[in-house]
């Protein structure tokens, strides 16, 4: 069994402030027993993609580089696996939205680059949207899984979570836990919970979403709303909440103060993938509209209930 944590905090235009906050919270999560700790998307900077400014390219770093080297020291100090998403500058001059997996001995286990780079239509929302295509090249490393001393893990940075193919590749690659570092806003709340539940159930693994929090200091007015539980979600292979996802009479409880690591409970190994979650063998279900039971139940008849997909 393993305890994991997702760390969320308010971004800042000052890069050093973000790095120090992350290091402090990683140590706190490790003190609470976390063995794998994930930081949010672009953790060392604010979410700068709302604007298209050339000077923001100066925030990009190589991997390994100054920020990752500091986190390697922290991983070695705490004996934890760290997932550190940053703005990467590759040796060939390309730029990526990347995440590095650091082992408990400080070595680099591997790297993943976000594949799906969005250009958000600002006319579709009153919230500030991001033009990530201005900054990032689509990832070229596929969807790898990483063997750590505690579990085999996979990563989906933000927009990559929308595509079931990516989540499926991680499952086929043997992922036991998938981390989803993001910088999303409240307008995607309905998709956030739906998609993470679906990925966990369909692929029989645990999934942990880690979002940025609130409004960046010194940045745009974009609100990441990470205080809400559904934007700091963790799902088990049955689609349920993790150990500390509390339900009170159908209402989800708060997660805590604005800046606190979301330490999770112990996660048992997921069930084998050749059976349904919970160890039950898969059963064929009667198609709708066939059989005496369907005829006796008007709502089960095909076409008896209309669902509109147009919005």
Domains of the chain with bracketed CATH: 2-300 (3.60.110.10)
3-state secondary structure of 34: coil
Q: Which is catalytic among the residues 15, 38, 41, 212?
A: 41
Q: Which of residues 186 and 69 earns the better pLDDT score?
A: 69
Residue matched to tokens 């997660």: 255
pLDDT at 222: 74
Supply the pLDDT for residue 256: 33
Residue 240: its pLDDT value, please? 64
Average pLDDT, rounded, for the chain: 78
Give CA–CA dist 135/49, Å, rounded.
Answer: 7
Closest among 200, 148, 286, 212 to 6, alpha carbons compared? 212
Q: Is residue 270 within 8 Å of 237, Cβ to Cβ? A: yes
Q: Using one digit for the tens of pLDDT, what is the confidence trace for 60-106? A: 999 999 999 999 999 999 999 999 999 999 999 999 999 999 999 99
Does 176 qualify as catalytic in the annotation? no
Q: How many CB atoms lie within 10 A of CB 200?
A: 27
Rounded to an integer, what distance in angstroms lies between the CA atom of residue 199 and that of residue 163?
A: 10
Q: Across residues 199-216, what is the average pLDDT?
A: 91
Residue 41 annotated to the active site: yes
For residues 114-123, average pLDDT: 77
Cis omega (within 30 of 0) on the bond before 291? no
Q: Dihedral, CA atoms, 15, 217, 89, 145, nearest 10 degrees?
A: 100
Taking only the tens place, the pLDDT of each residue in 146-179 is 999 999 999 999 989 999 999 999 999 999 999 9
- In this prediction, residue 7 carries a pLDDT of 94
Of 277, 279, 285, 284, nearest in space to 201 by CA = 277
pLDDT-based confidence at residue 215 (cuts at 50, 70, 90): confident
Helix (H) or strand (E) holding 202: helix 189-203
Each residue's pLDDT tens digit, 12-48: 999 999 999 999 999 999 999 999 999 999 999 999 9
More confident site: 233 or 132: 132
> Has residue 52 got a pLDDT over 80?
yes
Tell me which of 38, 88, 127, 158 is the catalytic residue.
Answer: 158
Query: In the numeric block, which tokens belong to residue 117?
Result: 């780079």
**pLDDT at position 128, please?**
61
pTM: 0.77
Sheet containing 36-38: order of strands:
108-113, 95-102, 81-89, 36-38, 2-6, 262-267
Average pLDDT over residues 188-199: 84
From 88, 114, 127, 212, active-site residue: 114
Q: In 128-175, where does DSSP find H-type helix?
A: 164-172
């Amino acid at each position: 069994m393993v305890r994991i944590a997702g760390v969320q905090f308010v971004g800042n235009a000052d890069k050093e402030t973000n790095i120090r906050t992350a290091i402090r919270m990683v140590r706190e999560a490790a003190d609470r027993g976390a063995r794998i700790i994930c930081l949010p998307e672009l953790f060392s900077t604010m979410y700068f993609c709302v604007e298209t400014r050339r000077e923001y390219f100066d925030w990009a770093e190589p991997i390994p580089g100054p920020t990752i080297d500091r986190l390697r020291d922290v991983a070695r100090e705490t004996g934890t696996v760290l997932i550190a998403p940053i703005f990467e500058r590759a040796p060939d001059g390309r730029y990526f939205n990347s995440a590095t997996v650091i082992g408990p001995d400080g070595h680099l286990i591997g790297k993943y680059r976000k594949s799906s780079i969005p250009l958000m239509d600002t006319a579709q929302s009153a919230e500030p949207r991001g033009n990530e295509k201005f900054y990032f090249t689509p990832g070229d490393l596929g969807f790898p899984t990483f063997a750590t001393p505690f579990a085999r893990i996979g990563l989906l940075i933000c927009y990559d979570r929308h595509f079931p193919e990516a989540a499926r590749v991680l499952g086929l690659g043997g992922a036991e836990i998938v981390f989803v570092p993001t910088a999303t806003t409240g307008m995607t709340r309905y998709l956030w919970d739906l998609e993470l539940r679906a990925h966990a159930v369909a692929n029989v693994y645990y999934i942990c979403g880690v979002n940025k929090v609130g409004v960046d200091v010194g940045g745009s007015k974009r609100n990441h709303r990470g205080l809400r539980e559904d934007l700091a979600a963790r799902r088990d292979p049955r689609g349920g909440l993790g150990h500390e996802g509390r339900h009170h009479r159908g209402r989800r409880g708060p997660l805590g103060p604005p800046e606190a690591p979301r330490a999770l409970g112990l996660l048992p190994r997921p069930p084998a993938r050749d059976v349904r979650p919970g160890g039950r063998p898969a059963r064929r279900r009667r198609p709708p509209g066939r059989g005496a039971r369907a005829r006796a139940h008007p709502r089960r008849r095909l076409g008896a209930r209309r669902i509109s997909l147009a919005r």
